[in-house]
Amino acid sequence: MANVALVHVLDSIDSLSESVNAANRGFLPRRPTIVVGQPTTIDSSRAPEGAGLLWIQLQEVPRVIRGDLAAEITHTGDWSTQVRDQYAQRIIDQLQPHIANISSAQTGKMVLGPADLESLNVNLVGGDPYSGDCRIDQYALWRPLRLANGHNTGVKGLWQIGASTHPGPGLGGGSGYLVAKRLRERRR
């Protein structure tokens, strides 16, 4: 896995289901799905020679904490710095069997929790990195509103792209691609 840019670490499909359900109900997942990015596999200039870089994302965390499925964190309510760091350590500990030197090789760390993400970007409400709801009624015809079909806002020359538009949030840039394709077709 050393040459793979993005790896999802989870126990099983059952742990995925448990984590999603826990987070949706306000509980810290016991063993969440951990997304591990290794940017230097694609671009070695991201870290000094001989060093590496890990980017870790958790997609299953509650906005407001009602409890902890692992019964290790007793805090309830909004995220605090202490809870954020304690939960981050749980994740590092869970990666230990997969990355043997994850703690000893670490020279620095930056942890951003849901409150931190929202404070950096107001569009990330509750720390949601995808800027919104991903249920089926938020896609295609229904997103962001039925009248703005094909990303056309109705204002001449103004198109809407981004997480709030079809095909929804993610890293693929799908809405920008669709608008670019449509504009290219119009020029023909």
Residues 6 or more apart in contact with residue 59 via CB below 8 angstroms = 32, 33, 35, 129
Per-residue model confidence as pLDDT tens digits over 85-122: 999 999 999 999 998 899 898 999 999 999 899 899 88
Whether 106 and 181 map to the same domain: the answer is no
- Give the three-class secondary structure for 23: helix
CB half-sphere exposure, 149, CA atoms < 13 A? 3
d(CA 154, CA 151): 9
Residue 168: alpha-carbon gap to chain centroid: 13
User: Residue 76 and residue 68: Cα distance in Å, rounded?
Assistant: 9
Please indicate whether residue 116 or residue 154 has the higher confidence score (pLDDT): 116
Domain boundary among 127, 144, 160: 127
- pLDDT greater than 60 at residue 13: yes
pTM equals 0.76
Say if residue 64's pLDDT is above 90. Answer: yes
Pair 122, 148 in one domain: no
Q: What percent of the chain has pLDDT over 90?
A: 51
Q: Is 119 left (phi over 0), alpha (psi -120 to 50) or beta?
A: alpha
End-to-end CA distance of the chain: 45
pLDDT at 70: 96
pLDDT of residue 19: 94
Same domain, 48 and 119: yes
Same domain, 28 and 83: yes
Range of the domain at 61: 6-127
